[in-house]
Amino acid sequence: MTPTPQRKNRGDRKSLKLQDIAKLVGGELIGDPGLVVTGVAGIKEAQENEVTFLSNSKYLPFLDQTRAAAVITSRDIHSSQKPLIRTQNPSRAFTQVVDFFASSGKSAKAKGVHRTAVIEKGVKLGKGVAVGPHAVIEEGVEIGDGGSIGTQVYIGRNTRIGRNATIYPQVSIREETLIGDNVILHSGVVIGSDGFGYETVGDEHVKIPQIGSVVIEDDVEIGANTCVDRGRFQKTWIKKGSKIDNLVQIAHNVVVGENALIVSQAGISGSTQLGKNVVIAGQAGLVGHITLGDRVVVGARSGVTKSAPDNSVLLGEPARPISEQKRILAATARLPELFKEILDLKKKSPVPLKENG
């Protein structure tokens, strides 16, 4: 087999002329109105046929470096080597263009309720809800308008899902889960599995019933094969706007604050709470029963063992404030050299350094 480029054959690829974008966002175009773009991305990531945006002056140096075809800017920017679309609010304009292109990514969405789907009694489906083949929706479930329930999805008893959900194939959502609007769950996600809770009696581990629930608020996205356990008694809670990558573990009773970014293979142990806008990088782990404040950043592969206040940036094993950890790492790297110096020191010292040992 010779893999061939996929993109060429696609008839469904969206495109926009710069004049269309200017119109869409109510902006002023400086540049070729007929230039065509086929996508949208951040200023450092954008490709030659994509449009990007500049909202923050710290990215100003990227304006002439970006590969993007054109840049959406504020009215403060007057000229550039690139075509510009000048608007009152470049961030809002950017999200409008993203929305336009994003609709081309919904191809995995089901249409209508498939004849092989099992919909139990008392299920309420909103306007335009689609349910894929072999999906199973148990009694008492409610799904809001515009929801797309993919192939082979399982939704347990009494779960409620808001509007415009995108539930990809083979997601499992256990009973009594509460999910907000515009939530995206990728294939293999498990929501509401039992937390890991036992009381050891002698040698035997007695299972403590896990009869809480999971609450997932609006605009949350959860990546493939990630697990969110149900609360033991209360709820496990993912707040509005948080984005979770693939293969992440969220244990029982965890609270993830608004707008978190949790990268692949990270794990958060039971009852730990995150503030707003927290970032947990890949393969990091947090012990249970701690609290991270707002805007805390945990570096990749760090092991967090203690609570940390707002705005902390943590790194290492155990995790420490990043400046401290960097000093330790630098010193550790020089250790072999240090041992050599110590040896020299011992040889030359006028007094014996160690008599026994």
Residues annotated as catalytic are 252
Q: Is 80 one of the binding residues for its own copies (CB under 8 A)?
A: no
Rounded to the nearest whole angstrom, what is the least distance from the CB of residue 327 to its own copies in the complex? 4
Tell me the H-state helices in the chain.
Answer: 18-25, 90-102, 322-333, 335-348
What separation in angstroms does the CA of 316 have from each of 225, 269, 277, 320?
A: 26, 17, 21, 6
Which residues, 307 to 326, sit near its own copies by CB under 8 A? 317-318, 320, 324
Which residue in 127, 170, 256, 272 binds its own copies (CB under 8 A)?
170
How many chain residues bind its own copies (CB under 8 A)?
146
Paired tokens of 26: 């109510």
Q: Is 10 one of the binding residues for its own copies (CB under 8 A)?
A: yes
Q: Is 81 one of the binding residues for its own copies (CB under 8 A)?
A: no
Judged by CB under 8 A, the stretch of 15-23, 68-76, 121-129, 176-184 that binds its own copies is: 176-184
Paired tokens of 38: 């086929």
Paired tokens of 272: 């730990």
Paired tokens of 60: 């100003």
Judged by beta carbon, residue 19 or residue 152, the one nearer its own copies is 152
The answer to whether 240 touches 180, Cβ cutoff 8 Å, is yes
Judged by beta carbon, residue 84 or residue 216, the one nearer its own copies is 216
Q: Is 59 one of the binding residues for its own copies (CB under 8 A)?
A: no
> What gap in Å lies between CA 42 and CA 305, rounded to an integer?
34
Judged by beta carbon, residue 33 or residue 321, the one nearer its own copies is 321
Q: Is 20 one of the binding residues for its own copies (CB under 8 A)?
A: no
Which residue in 123, 261, 313, 322 binds its own copies (CB under 8 A)?
261
> What gap in Å lies between CA 85 and CA 242, rounded to an integer?
30
> What gap in Å lies between CA 255 and CA 159, rounded to an integer?
19
Which residues, 268 to 297, sit near its own copies by CB under 8 A? 269, 276-277, 282-283, 285, 287
The answer to whether 186 touches 169, Cβ cutoff 8 Å, is no
Which residues, 181 to 220, sit near its own copies by CB under 8 A? 181, 184, 186-188, 190, 193-194, 196-199, 201-213, 215, 217-219
Rounded to the nearest whole angstrom, what is the least distance from the CB of residue 37 to its own copies in the complex? 12
Paired tokens of 55: 């909202």
> What gap in Å lies between CA 292 and CA 167, rounded to an integer?
30
Q: Is 95 one of the binding residues for its own copies (CB under 8 A)?
A: yes
Rounded to the nearest whole angstrom, what is the least distance from the CB of residue 340 to its own copies in the complex? 7
What single letter denotes the amino acid at residue 2? T
